[in-house]
Amino acid sequence: MAAAISVIAQEGYSGASMRKVAKQAGCTTGAVTYYFANKEEMVSAVAQSLFDQFDTMLDSGEGSVDVRVVIQQWLDWTSLNETDTWLAVFQLLAHARHEPAFANVIQQRYFRFRQGLAAILAKGQAQGVIRSDIPADLLADQLSAISDGWMMMHPIEPERFEQSRAKALLDALITLISPPPGSAV
């Protein structure tokens, strides 16, 4: 999977091939085709793998309602991961725009992610720690869009997301989703 991500990041979707992935992984093309029947299956597996990582982040926040922890993990993930991951994500999104079957995979997984986030937010609304004047699904869309923007720009402007500024951005986001001061819980 790491070799496929690296090749997609460096070569783009159109330049990626099973042969190049095998070379990057230090194995034979036959070893790659053992796991993936074709390039499309490999690319779909890469996308699924990336979304699996997002799902794991949501699962870690499932027991409690701490959106800060979930988003902090998201930001940490972008900080700790190599640039190849983000370049691959950008390449896959560009590919999805022109490939309806692949776009469907991304849409379904991202929808599932937003549903999980909305469930965490709804639980927080019920507990009075998340503002309830905006439906949880809309808050999930907003948080996803904000986080997507941060994740997209982090590799391009890392200085904008240095530790103290990232904390300030996260604090501001939590203020936005918290119940307004003086509101009844």
Structure confidence at residue 135 (pLDDT): 97
Q: What is the DSSP string of 87-138?
A: HHHHHHHHHHHH-HHHHHHHHHHHHHHHHHHHHHHHHHHHHTSS-SSS-HHH
CA-only gyration radius of the chain, Å = 19
On the CB side of 185, CA atoms within 13 Å amount to: 7
Structure confidence at residue 60 (pLDDT): 60
Helix residue spans in the chain (DSSP H): 2-15, 18-25, 29-35, 39-60, 67-80, 83-98, 100-127, 136-153, 163-177
Q: CA 140 → CA 44, 45, 103, 146, 161, distances in Å?
A: 25, 25, 20, 10, 22
Q: CA 130 → CA 39, 62, 162, distances in Å?
A: 43, 15, 27
For the segment 60-116, what is each residue's pLDDT rounded down to a tens digit? 655 666 777 777 776 666 665 556 777 788 888 888 888 888 888 889 988 988 998
Structure confidence at residue 22 (pLDDT): 96
Task: State yes or no: pLDDT of 148 exceeds 80.
Answer: yes
Structure confidence at residue 48 (pLDDT): 86
Q: Provide the pLDDT confidence category of residue 184 given band limits of 50, 70 and 90.
A: low
What is the Cα–Cα distance from 125 to 179, expressed in whole angstroms? Answer: 9
